Structure 1
Amino acid sequence: MNHQAILRFRRLGILTIIAVYLVILAGGIVRASGAGMGCPDWPTCFGQWIPPTDEAQLPADYHEIYARRGYENTQFNPVKTWTEYGNRLVGATTGLLVLLTAWASRIFLRMDKTIFYLSLGNVFLIGFQGWLGSAVVASNLKPFMITFHMLMALAIVALVVYTIARSQRDALGRLDVGGLPDKFKTVLIAVMAMTLLQVMMGTQVREAVDFIAHEHSYIDRKYWRDDFPVIFYVHRSFSSIILLTNLWLVWKLHRSAARQNLLYRTGLAIVSVIGIAILAGITLDRLGFPAVAQPVHLLMANVIFGLQFFLYIGLGYAGRTPLMFGENGEIKPDSPTLTG
C-alpha cells in the first residue's frame, strides 16, 4: 500500500477544508464591506480578467453599459472591486484543490472506491458552487441566493470531512468511546440540528443587516442595532442553549475518553470556537456592529458545524476493528467489510 500517496490525499483534503472556510470568510468580508457588486460581471471583473485599479481605466460610458445589463448606479470603487476579486481568487484556488484531491483519491480505487467517488462528486459540487456564485451576481445579490450559496459551502465541507475521515477509519477505529452514554450520539445529532437552525437564523439576521446597511449607505453602524428584527434576539438567546448542550457533550467526553483522544480534543475545539462566535456576536451587538466582527462570527458558525460533523463521523468509526491491507492495497480476507 502506498502510504505516501494516502498521506498526500489526506493533506490535500485538509487543505481543501481550510480553503473552503477561507472562501466563507472571504464571502463574509465581501458582505460586511458591501463589496458584493464590486465586480458587476462574472467571470471577468469590469470586463477584465485582472480588474482595474482606477476608474480612468474603464470606458467613459461604463455606467450606461452596465445599466443596460440590469445593474443601475454601478460605481467603480477600487477597494470593493479588489475585495470581491480576492474572494473569487480564493474560490478558484479552492476549486483547484478539490481537483487535486480527486486526482489523489484514485489510490483508493483498490481499497475503498467510495472515497474516490465522493472526491469526484465534490468536483461537481464545487463546479455547481462556482456557477451559483455567478448566479448570485446575476441576481443582483438576492438574499435567498446568497444564503443558498453559503449552505452549499457547508455541504462541500461536510462531504470533504466525511471523505477524509473515511480514509482514516483505521486510526479512528482504535479510539475507545465505550464509556460514553448511549444517548450521547442522539444528543450530538440534536446539537448539529440546533447548529444548522442557528446558522439559518443567522442568515436571516444577515439579510436584515444587509438591508439596514444599504439604507444607511454602509455608514453609521452604531445605529443599525435600532432596526434589528425580532429574529436577532431569538438568534442571540439560542446561542446559550447551544453552548450548554455542547458543554454537556464535552463533559461526557472528558469523563470517558483519554485526554489524547482525538474526539475529546475535537469536543474542546467545538466549545472554544463557540466561545469565539459568542464573543464576536457580543461585539456586533454592543460595539456598533464593527465590520471585522461579522465575517469572524459567520466563519466560526460554519467551523462549529464542521467540527460537530467530524465528531459524529468519528464516533461512528470509533471502536471498530481497523481494516487490514495487503502490499498492493487490497483488503485482506479477515478484514471487516466496508460499511458506513
Structure 2
Amino acid sequence: MANLINPQTALYFRRVGIITIFAIYMLILVGGIVRASGAGMGCPDWPTCFGQWIPPTDESQLPANYHQIYADSGYKDTQFNAFKTWTEYVNRLCGVAIGLLIFMTAYASRAYHKTDKTVFYLSMAAFFLVGFQGWLGSTVVASNLRPVIITLHMLLAWFLVSLLIYTVLRSQRTFIPTINVNVLPGQFKTVLIVAMAMTLLQVAMGTQVRQAVDVLANSQVGIDRAFWRESFPIIFYVHRSFSSLILFTNSWLVWKLYRAYRGRVVFLHRMSLALISCIVIAILVGVSLDRLGMPAVAQPLHLLMANLIFGAQFSLFVYLRYAVQNMQNNSMATQ
C-alpha cells in the first residue's frame, strides 16, 4: 500500500517536514540563548508579556507600580530589561511559528492516511506534542525557571525533533535507493546505537554542568566568569574527556560509510559530513567554554551542536534500517 503514494505528494511532505525540523533546531538555539542570557523571566507572565501581546520597549510604558503587581503574583524583584524581554518574546514567536509548521506537517500527512497510517498518526502526535510543549513553556515561567522544568522542556524538544525525523524518513522509505548494506562491517549497527547512547549520556552530563553554571551565575554575581571554572564539579571534567571518545567512535562510523559507498549515496554522504562537522564544532565550542571563561554566546551553540549530532546519528540509523528492508524486499521479489 505504501508504494501507492504519489511522488509529488511525498516530496511536498518531505519539504514541509524538513523545514519544520530545522525550525525546531532554530528554536532550540534561541531557547539556549534565552537561558544563557538569563532572559527566561524577561516576560514574567504568559502568554502575554508584561500584560501586553507586544511587549514594551521602555520601562516608562509600564504601570508605575509594576514591581508590586508582579511581586503580588510571586515574582519579586521583577525588573524590566528591554533586551531580555525581547529575547524571550522572540523565543515565544519562534514557538508560534513551530506550531504553524507542525500544523502544516500534520495537514500534509493526510495523504498517508490510506497508504501509511503510521506517518499520519505520528504527524498528529507531533502536533499535539507541540501543544503540550507550549503548555510546558508556560509552566517554566510559572515555576520561576525551576531547572528541572527547563531541562524537561529541552528534552521534550529533543524528542519532538527525533519523532519528526523518523516520520519524514518513514514517509520516504519507498524512495530510498536499494543499497548493499552488507558491505558495511557487521558491527556497524551496534556501534551506531552505542554512539547514539553515548551522545545521550554526554548530553545528560552536559545538563548537570549547565545546572552547575546556573548555580554559579546566581551565587557568584559580580565575579568574572573566567573564575567559575575553579568551582566546577567533577562531572565537568568527565564531560570534557568523554568528548574524545565520542569523536573517535563517530569518526569510525563516518570512515566506514565512506569506505563502503565512496560518497555515491548522497544522503549517507551528507549526514556523515554533518555528523563529523557538528562533533568538531561542538568540541571547539566546548574548548572555548573551558578556556575562554565560559562565554555566554558559546553555550547555546554547544547545545545546538549536541542536538544536531544526535539528529544526524538517528537519521543514519533510520535510513539504513529502511535501506535494509528495501534490499530484503527486492531480494524476495526476484526469487
Same fold, TM-score > 0.5, yes or no: yes
For residues 14 and 112 of structure 1, do their structure 2 counterparts lie closer, same or farther at Cα, with a shift above 3 Å needed? same
Of 211, 215, 221, the residue aligned with 2:215 is 211
2:114 is aligned with 1:110: yes
1:19 matched to 2:23 = yes
Does the alignment pair 1:157 with 2:157? no
1:54 & 1:196 partners in 2: Cα distance? 42
Query: Distance between the aligned counterparts of 1:208 and 1:36, measured in 2?
Result: 17
Name the stretch that deviates more: 276-285 or 257-266.
257-266
User: Which residue does 2:257 correspond to in 1?
Assistant: 253
How far off its partner does 1:321 sit?
A: 3.1
Q: 1:137: Cα distance to partner?
A: 0.8
Matched, 1:307 2:316: no
Aligned positions of 1:56-67 closer than 5 A: 56-67=60-71
Partner Cα distance (2:331, 2:94) in 1: 40
**2:170 is matched with which residue?**
166
| Corresponding residue for residue 197 of structure 1 | 201
Q: What does 1:298-337 align with in structure 2 at a 5 Å threshold?
A: 298-321=303-326
Using a 3 Å threshold, how does the CA distance of structure 1 residues 218 and 163 change in structure 2: closer, same or farther?
Answer: farther
Displacement of 1:218 in angstroms is 7.1
Residue of structure 2 in register with 1:293 after alignment: 298
Which segments of 5 or more consecutive residues in structure 1 lack a partner in the other structure? 324-333
Identity of aligned residues (%): 63
* Runs (5+) with no aligned partner, structure 2: none
Q: Using the alignment, how far apart are the partners of 1:257 and 1:322 within structure 2?
A: 15
Matches within 5 A, 1:23-38: 23-38=27-42
User: 1:176 — aligned with what?
Assistant: 180
**Residue identity in the other structure for 1:171:** F
1:276 is aligned to 281
Letter of the 1:42 counterpart: W
Q: Which structure shows the bigger proportion of residues in helix conformation? A: 2
In the TM superposition, residue 224 of structure 1 has moved relative to its aligned partner by: 1.8
Amino acid at match of 2:210: R
Alignment correspondent of 1:226: 230
Structure 1 residues 77-121: Cα deviation after superposition (integer angstroms, max 9, x where no partner): 000000000111111101110000000111111211110111000
SS in 2 for 1:321: helix
**3-state SS of 1:175 partner:** coil
Q: Secondary structure of the residue that 2:181 maps to in structure 1?
A: coil
Q: Distance in 1 between matches of 2:85 and 2:223?
A: 18
Cα 1:98–1:272 shift into 2, 3 Å:
same
71-80 vs 173-182, which moves further: 173-182
Are the structure 2 counterparts of residues 76 and 336 from structure 1 closer, same or farther at C-alpha, using a change threshold of 3 Å? Answer: farther
Q: How many residues align?
A: 327
TM superposition outliers: structure 1 runs of 4+ over 6 Å: 334-337
> Residues 35-184 of structure 1 correspond to what in structure 2 (within 5 A)?
35-184=39-188
TM-score relative to the length of structure 1: 0.92
Match for 1:228: what amino acid? F
On the 8 A contact 1:30/1:36 being kept in 2, the answer is yes
- Which one-letter code corresponds to 1:274 in the other structure? I
What CA distance in whole angstroms lies between the structure 2 residues aligned with 1:223 and 1:280? 18
CA contact (8 A) 1:173 1:320 kept: no
- Cα offset, 1:9, TM superposition: 1.1
Alpha-carbon distance between aligned partners in 1 of 2:35 and 2:326, rounded to the nearest angstrom: 47
| Equivalent in the alignment of 1:266 | 271
Question: What letter is aligned with 1:121?
Answer: A
Check conservation: 2:169, 2:318, Cα contact below 8 A.
yes
- Answer whether contact 2:179 2:327 (CA < 8 A) is retained: no
Could you tell me whether the CA contact under 8 Å between 1:171 and 1:322 is conserved in 2?
no
SS in 2 for 1:90: helix
CA distance in 2, matches of 1:335, 1:166: 18
The answer to whether residue 7 in structure 2 is matched with residue 3 in structure 1 is yes
Q: Is the 8 A contact 1:51 1:82 kept in 2?
A: yes
